[in-house]
Structure 1
């Protein structure tokens, strides 16, 4: 299910996946197939980790990488979940061929 909350986002962020929702900044983003695919990849990651562990790993990885890089945005870009989603967001068939736990290859 896709929801739109324009005041929910910080700076340049335009989409977010919170199981089972994709939350977007504007209605116009609903037609951005690459963005929607990126967020669907996150939904799949959340599902295979039974949702709550996904968020715990995500935040832990971001905290560790923030300390390593001393840059919170660079840390975000290098979270394994984000790396998998960014690397495959333009492949609209990715979710049909993706193997379970694929994010591990992006650690």
Structure 2
């Protein structure tokens, strides 16, 4: 049932621009359940990346995703990593970046894959 839910993609949004002021990286797109907001046109790679995050959010009832994401980020920063380094080591981001080139990945990914790392 959860696999059938799809994100709502919003192109040319100001939300990634605004949130970039708070983030350690420039945000091109962001999944905020049930939407994916992008600065411009959404590439296939970005679509796959953000769909993976959408599925991660579903698995943890959305708020759980943000709690785990924040916990991983704080833990990485406390270990001495800078903002951008910490971001790329987050479990959610690792799964999304590793698999974003595989268009079919969201349809065949295993539940909780990102938390098994």
Normalising by structure 1, we get a TM-score of 0.88
Which structure 1 residue ranges, 5 or more long, are not aligned? none
Q: How do residues 2-13 of structure 1 correspond to structure 2 at under 5 angstroms?
A: 2-3=9-10, 4-6=12-14, 7-10=17-20, 12-13=26-27
Indicate which of 49, 59, 78 corresponds to 1:67.
78
Q: Name the counterpart of 2:32.
A: 18
Q: CA deviation at 1:105?
A: 2.9
Q: Relative CO higher for 1 or 2, CA cutoff 8 Å, sep ≥ 6?
A: 2
Aligned structure 1 segments of 4 or more residues deviating by more than 6 angstroms: none
**Which has the larger share of helix?**
1
- Count residues with an aligned counterpart: 103
Residue by residue, what CA displacement relative to the aligned partner does 1:63-92 show, whole Å, maximum 9, x if unpaired?
Answer: 110111331111110000000000000011
Q: How do residues 7-46 of structure 1 correspond to structure 2 at under 5 angstroms?
A: 7-10=17-20, 12-26=26-40, 28=41, 30=42, 32-46=43-57
RMSD (Å), alpha carbons: 1.3
